[in-house]
Amino acid sequence: MNPPHDDPPTASVDKIERLINLTACLLETRKPLTFDQLKQTVYRGQSRSEKALKRMFERDKEELRDMDIEVDTVKNEYEEEPGYMIPRRKYYLPHLDFEPDERVALTMVSRLFLGSGTPFSMPAHLAVLKLAFAKQDVDEEVLHVHWVESPRDGKLLGDILDALLRRKTVTFSYRALASDEPVTREVEPYGLFNKMGAWYFIGLCRLREDVRCFKLDRIIEDVHVNEKNPRTADFEVPTGFDIHTAIDWERPRSCSPQTKAKVVFTPRLAFAASTGGAPAGLQKRRADGSLEVTYQVADPEEFVDWVLGFGTDARIASPAALKEMARVRLQGVLNGLGAR
């Protein structure tokens, strides 16, 4: 055995080294170690009072718990002081047998968000790195599926996810699309979702005393996560809250009962007739090759937007009200071109 160092490396270790040493020490030990024993090893050379050292140890345990590393406290009837250890069966990833197709599926899943700058991208990748660890490499024949939507502000998304996980209130300045001045909001975040590439969160707005949706892009600068009692939740999510139902409330409600609309597509873009806008029904090929499609329209504004998106390759044939809406828009564009 080598003689102890004059200047043990623990004298100046920073936090991360101390946490790794603590993990290694509590994992390697065959029997629980008391705080007194840890003082001689992991915490040796720390020039702090006994009390401060104990506090440091408590904080370190919390830090490990945040990473889901459990430090067990073992009470022994012969000793006054409790002992500590990290049970190996809890620390190590148990061996899992995955079928080849499950392995491929998990790899695809882990790559979905890779490089997207969302808070899910690295954790999902590391998870598969851990899982694929026993059998080193996954089959190369994995379909690449990627999500490339980078949130404009990854930190903002990360902060909101963090508040959602810990059920902490967030405060932020928000400018709704319909208003010109930003208003400070205090919200209990219940859910988080992405729709058409944009991130939103939904929660109880204390200002409006109602469940509302907030688009992350409309938040001015940062959100402030309530850090009072960081380990205690600020609120409970109402039982039965379901993100999918919640999002459905937010869909534009049809102001009028559904109307039937006919649209004629040129042969060139006829293939795109069923790609959105509204549920497509009956399709009729005309003699000139153009395609007439009937739609059930819930939101006329949105539907006219969609048809105009085909430019000269699509034209609303009926009803007259929708045709008029299209005409007004086109005339409006032309009028705008005249005036500077």
Report the nearest approach of another protein to the CB of residue 292 (Å): 14
Please tell me the distance from the alpha carbon of residue 75 to that of residue 59, in angstroms, as a whole number: 20
Report the nearest approach of another protein to the CB of residue 146 (Å): 5
One residue of 53, 56, 69, 213 binding another protein per CB under 8 A: 69
The answer to whether 9 and 21 are in contact (CB under 8 A) is: no
Total of residues contacting another protein (CB under 8 A): 132
**Nearest CB to another protein, comparing residues 298 and 316:** 316
Report the nearest approach of another protein to the CB of residue 202 (Å): 9
Report the nearest approach of another protein to the CB of residue 78 (Å): 23
- Judged by CB under 8 A, which stretch of 39-47, 49-57, 206-214, 289-297 contacts another protein? 39-47
Q: How many CB atoms lie within 10 A of CB 231?
A: 8
The answer to whether 288 and 270 are in contact (CB under 8 A) is: no
Cα angle vertex 115, ends 109, 116, to 5°?
A: 85
The answer to whether 73 and 111 are in contact (CB under 8 A) is: no
Report the nearest approach of another protein to the CB of residue 209 (Å): 21
**Nearest CB to another protein, comparing residues 106 and 298:** 106
> Up-side HSE of residue 200: CA atoms within 13 Å toward CB?
19
Burial status of residue 163 (CB atoms within 10 A of its CB: 0-12, 13-18, 19 or more):
buried
Report the nearest approach of another protein to the CB of residue 121 (Å): 8
Residues paired with residue 292 on neighbouring β-strands, in sequence order: 264, 284
Which string of x and - marks every residue 213-252 that binds another protein (by CB under 8 A)? --x-xx------x-x--x------x---xxxx--x-----
Report the nearest approach of another protein to the CB of residue 303 (Å): 11
Closest residue by Cα to residue 25 from 55, 59, 69, 68: 69
For another protein, the binding residues in 97-156 under the rule CB under 8 A are 98-99, 101-106, 108-110, 112-115, 119-131, 133, 136, 141, 143-149, 152
Please tell me the distance from the alpha carbon of residue 156 to that of residue 193, in angstroms, as a whole number: 14
The answer to whether 213 and 155 are in contact (CB under 8 A) is: no
For another protein, the binding residues in 182-211 under the rule CB under 8 A are 190-198
One residue of 31, 51, 178, 287 binding another protein per CB under 8 A: 178
Report the nearest approach of another protein to the CB of residue 61 (Å): 13
Which residues touch 77 (CB under 8 Å, ≥6 apart)?
none
For another protein, the binding residues in 43-62 under the rule CB under 8 A are none
Report the nearest approach of another protein to the CB of residue 35 (Å): 14
- Judged by CB under 8 A, which stretch of 22-30, 50-58, 71-79, 287-295 contacts another protein? 22-30
Tokens of 108: 């695809």
- Judged by CB under 8 A, which stretch of 49-57, 176-184, 206-214, 287-295 contacts another protein? 176-184
| Residue-wise DSSP of 100-121 | HHHHHHHHHHHHHTTTS-STTH
Closest residue by Cα to residue 38 from 173, 102, 190, 23: 23
Q: CA gyration radius for the chain? A: 30
**Position 27 contacts another protein (CB under 8 A):** yes
**Nearest CB to another protein, comparing residues 133 and 249:** 133
For another protein, the binding residues in 289-328 under the rule CB under 8 A are 304-305, 308-312, 315-316, 323, 326-328
